Amino acid sequence: MTTNSAPTTALTHIAQLVTNDPSLGEGPLGLIQDAAVVIDGDRIAWVGPSGKAPATDNAVDAGGRAVIPGFVDSHSHLVFAGDRTEEFNARMSGRPYSAGGIRTTVAATRAAGDDVLRANVARYLAEGLRQGTTTQETKSGYGLTVEDEARALRIAAEQTDEVTFLGAHIVPPDHADDPAGYVDLVTGPMLDACAPHARWVDVFCEKGAFDGDQARAILTAGAAKGLVPRVHANQLGHGPGVQLAVELGAASADHCTHLTDADVDALAGSETVATLLPGAEFSTRATWPDARRLLDAGATVALSTDCNPGSSFTSSMPFCIALAVRDMGMTPDEAVWSATAGGARALRRTDVGRITPGARADLALLDAPSHVHLAYRPGVPLVSAVWHKGVLV
């Protein structure tokens, strides 16, 4: 099977293939047993029973192992310098997490050269890729000046297509006495400088960060410049973030840890994805978000790492899957769906998060007979090979 100059590759004898296409296999995961996948260039060309795979230039025998779509990590903060080991240590000795820790990373990031930031983004993208993440969103938010935010987004955009402007992460110390002036900066000159480098606009809508009115002003201004809203909502306590996200048609409301029944109903009745970030609750010893409640209400749930040096310094989607199953009421099937197809929904992508003809050839081969092992064998590096855009990495 050769449709153009790129060699075709078949992965055969896949014990269990997660396609996330119910028309191709069983259940919401579209599971196929003893399956094969054909990759042509950067795309999936064919999916079906192993015995019926068409002839290809190359073949890889999956030998009884499982294959899943590459993870879609729809929420991270990779453009930063330094780390916050001391803060983590203090927290594990009882100090609570607060939004204020962000300032430490802002100072370190402003002081860092472009090369340091660029290398950090590359490092964490590579770390994620080794663990199966083939689509990675990332944000600004540790610059908080016009120049530093634009620089962060430029550097992020060199390495990923999914870039989010988060100038409204916190009010920086230099504007502590004038939060309204900072909102004017974010919605004015900062947005003008940043919008060309980003696809999304985000706000940390939380006590200690931005209130509902400020968040509305920032998200609305971003939308007027063509950026689609997503919101850090209801992480540390109840608040207006989720309702605002739904009202503004945001692609996702992220964290969703503290929800009222009205918040759950709003998400369930909307296209806004509830993105849960269990690494943050793990690393801040906080209450787990209740995925079961959201799923039972009919909301679409995504899982993501939130990789950042303060509240969740993990790039591991398998770790997040294990936490979501153990502590947030998700079944292994639901968690795998949320970490792949759910992330794609949160990024409004149809070309990733599924293994179906025409989709991007992003796949992870597991050293396990089933995707369930991602939760069943926590902490074990089961991702043994990754294809990204058709290339074995």
Residue 235 binds ligand NIG (CB under 6 A): yes
Phi, psi angle pair for 281, to nearest 5°: -70, -35
Question: Residue 204: which of ligand NIG, Fe ion, none does it interact with, CB under 5 to 8 A by kind?
Answer: ligand NIG
Residue 102 binds ligand NIG (CB under 6 A): yes
251/280 with CB nearer ligand NIG? 280
110/377 with CB nearer ligand NIG? 110
Q: How far is the CB of 381 from Fe ion (least distance, A)?
A: 25
306/362 with CB nearer ligand NIG? 306
Per-residue interface string for the shown chain with Fe ion, residues 257-296, x marking contact by CB under 5 A: ----------------------------------------
102/194 with CB nearer ligand NIG? 102
Q: How far is the CB of 11 from ligand NIG (least distance, A)?
A: 35
Q: How far is the CB of 47 from Fe ion (least distance, A)?
A: 34
Q: How far is the CB of 343 from ligand NIG (least distance, A)?
A: 15
Return the HEC string of the chain.
Answer: CCCCCCCEEEEEEEEEECCCCCCCCECCCCEEEEEEEEEECCEEEEEEEHHHCCCCCEEEECCCCEEEECEEECCECCCCCCCCHHHHHHHHCCCCCCHHHHHHHHHHHHHCCHHHHHHHHHHHHHHHHHCCEEEEEEECCCCCCHHHHHHHHHHHHHHCCEEEEEEECCCCHHHCCCHHHHHHHHHHHHHHHHHHHCCEEEEEECCCCECHHHHHHHHHHHHHCCCEEEEEECCCCCCCHHHHHHHCCCCEEEECCCCCHHHHHHHHCCCCEEEECHHHHHHCCCCCCCHHHHHHHCCCEEECCCEECCCECCCCHHHHHHHHHHHCCCCHHHHHHHHHHHHHHHCCCCCCCCCCCCCECCEEEECCCCCCHHHHCCCCCCEEEEEECCEEC
Q: How far is the CB of 200 from ligand NIG (least distance, A)?
A: 14
Residue 306 binds ligand NIG (CB under 6 A): yes
206/290 with CB nearer ligand NIG? 206
Stretch that binds ligand NIG, among 1-9, 116-124, 174-182, 306-314 (CB under 6 A): 306-314
Q: How far is the CB of 316 from ligand NIG (least distance, A)?
A: 16
Q: 148, 306, 334, 362: which one contacts Fe ion (CB under 5 A)?
A: 306
309/342 with CB nearer ligand NIG? 309
Question: Residue 373: which of Fe ion, ligand NIG, none does it interact with, CB under 5 to 8 A by kind?
Answer: none
Question: Interface residues with ligand NIG (CB under 6 A)?
Answer: 77, 101-102, 105, 204, 232, 235, 280, 306, 308-312
Question: Interface residues with Fe ion (CB under 5 A)?
Answer: 306
